[in-house]
Structure 1
Amino acid sequence: MAELNAVSETALITLKARVIEAEKPAPLLHDPMGREIMDKLSSLVSTGTQKRVLEKKLKSSLISYLALRARKYDDYTRTFLKENPGGWVVSLGSGFDTRYWRISEKPWKYIEIDLPEVIVVKRKVLGTDPEYEMIGCSVLDDDWIEQVSGRQKQNVLFLAEGLLMYLREADAIGLIKKLAGTFSASQLVFEIIHRKYTKGFRKKLVESKIKGASGT
């Protein structure tokens, strides 16, 4: 399956970490759909970096961090939907996220945005759902904003889990401004890191630690 070769390692590592945590005796979060996706992906690859990522052992610290982050974003989503019945949820750079299946409070529409090669693979392993939609494009493209705002311009929760720190500063700020200028009564959830960890030696140090924790 050639499309899988273009899927980012980060998306696979994040998925694997959630699945490992969910199968512990006392897990930080439950993710049955994550296991289903990982099993299907494992059957689709036989060689290459993606195969090595799926087979490598992850450090417990990385597993806990990614699971706790996912759980926190789940909590934000549940709170938003309780306070805004019928609200929409848009997950930016979603990778192989399975939040739609982890929350019981269903939104009127749940949309995931990611690069076309990621969405192609995810559609093949998940199929379709009337309330669950995937749009294949860069989060920096205006196309998805036009598609969403053409149907819903308020009461939208935007989730940027593990995303903005990978964008250039100008692009991240530009994206936030576009959302603020297009949607009303909506929210954006994202995490930030200190500027010093995005440059020079500290950036390389962080990258090396992530690679070490993921076994790559």
Structure 2
Amino acid sequence: MASDDPSAPLPTELSAVPETALWTLYQRAVEARRPEPLLDDPKAVELVDRIDYPFEERFGTSALQAQLQALRVACFDREVADFLAREPRGTVVCLGEGLETQYWRVDNGRAQWLTVDLPESVALREQLLPPGPRQRYLAADATELGWTDEVDLSREVLVTAQGLCMYLRPAQVRALIAGCAERLPGGSMVLDAVPRWFARLVRDGKLHTSGYQVPPMPWGMDAGERAKLRTASPAVVGVRDVRPAGGRGLVGALLPLVLAVPPLANRRPSVTVLEFAERPDPS
């Protein structure tokens, strides 16, 4: 039975892919606790302290993993912040958001935010991160596209799919991109992908800690393949790479090489922005 004390630790149990939300939350918090973090995320620290869950026992502690996660998240933050600078009253639609705390890092005080996630993930998010006046949580399967009917098309729209697509089948990824492009004209989408070699490691069960096995990742895409995303639909009219910046220690030293030198540059994790065609003028 849940405690009536809102400050009491909250027992948490999620299944399979939804549990990855706890992994990414923990990595952000580990980085945020550093004296000079690459990602300032006090809300993530607050949540890890609030949730009754064996984070360290399940996921281990790795400064490298935390740094890499922060670099990836910062790519998304940068794109959302740039969008809100251009479209202060736009809508940010976050697919499969889990316990992402981006709203508290980059919100501008005027935008609308819509989270679309599976029912168990939304239920936990509502407990831990109750929505504010400009936030809405929708319990739905992001791949079924009915959520697009809930988006106000009088506003500019940016869709984020952070840590989502790798857990979908390739056909689902293409259908999701096509559906967003065709139903949200003039909008854009930012998504991330793991390279094919990494997806194979996960599918072979080789990515795990002593207490946690990463769920299978059916979809992988090498960074050099990003142009293929345009073939999902004629309504996808632009594809752009989002490159991580900064880094600490060895990661910071090697990052420019990883981004520039083949074959590493073509077989690295990637964050990509897709631009959607405007609705045709009926006249």
TM (norm. structure 1) is: 0.83
Give SS of 2:138's match: strand
What is the CA–CA distance in structure 1 between the aligned matches of 2:85 and 2:36, rounded to whole Å? 26
Displacement, 1:61?
1.8
What is the CA–CA distance in structure 2 between the aligned matches of 1:35 and 1:105, rounded to whole Å? 21
> What letter corresponds to residue 86 of structure 1 in structure 2?
R
Question: Residue 31 in 1 paired to residue 41 in 2?
Answer: yes
Displacement, 1:141?
2.0
Displacement, 1:55?
4.3
Number of equivalences: 201
In the other structure, the counterpart of 1:60 is: 63
In the other structure, the counterpart of 1:158 is: 159
What is the CA–CA distance in structure 1 between the aligned matches of 2:85 and 2:106, rounded to whole Å? 11
Q: Percent identity?
A: 31
In the other structure, the counterpart of 2:199 is: 198
Give SS of 1:5's match: coil
The structure richer in strand per residue is 2
Structure 2: runs of 5+ lacking an equivalent: 3-10, 213-283
Displacement, 1:170?
0.5
CA distance 1:193–1:19, shift in 2 (3 Å): closer
1:187-207 deviation digits (Å, cap 9, x = unpaired): 1001223345434xx4445x5
Once the two structures are superposed, the pairs formed by residues 25-174 of structure 1 within 5 Å of their partners are 25-42=35-52, 51-53=53-55, 55-56=57-58, 57-148=60-151, 151-152=152-153, 154-174=155-175
Give SS of 2:97's match: coil
Question: Residue 6 in 1 paired to residue 14 in 2?
Answer: yes
What is the CA–CA distance in structure 2 between the aligned matches of 1:153 and 1:166, rounded to whole Å? 31
What is the CA–CA distance in structure 2 between the aligned matches of 1:73 and 1:22, rounded to whole Å? 16
Displacement, 1:111?
1.2
State which drifts further: 134-143 or 9-18: 134-143
CA distance 1:22–1:179, shift in 2 (3 Å): same
Displacement, 1:142?
2.7
Contact 1:116 1:136 in 2 (8 A): yes
What is the CA–CA distance in structure 2 between the aligned matches of 1:15 and 1:194, rounded to whole Å? 22
Root-mean-square deviation (Å): 2.3
What is the CA–CA distance in structure 2 between the aligned matches of 1:197 and 1:92, rounded to whole Å? 22
1:165-214 deviation digits (Å, cap 9, x = unpaired): 11001011001101111112211001223345434xx4445x523x23x8
From the CA coordinates, give the structure whose radius of gyration is larger.
2
Contact 1:154 1:186 in 2 (8 A): no
> What letter corresponds to residue 38 of structure 1 in structure 2?
V
CA distance 1:152–1:4, shift in 2 (3 Å): farther
1:117-155 deviation digits (Å, cap 9, x = unpaired): 01111111222300111111111123212122xx23651
What is the CA–CA distance in structure 2 between the aligned matches of 1:17 and 1:145, rounded to whole Å? 31
Structure 1: runs of 5+ lacking an equivalent: 43-50
Contact 2:145 2:176 in 1 (8 A): no
Give SS of 1:176's match: helix
CA distance 1:41–1:203, shift in 2 (3 Å): closer
Displacement, 1:71?
1.1
> What letter corresponds to residue 26 of structure 2 in structure 1?
K
Displacement, 1:9?
2.5
> What letter corresponds to residue 35 of structure 1 in structure 2?
V
Contact 1:110 1:132 in 2 (8 A): yes
> What letter corresponds to residue 208 of structure 1 in structure 2?
K
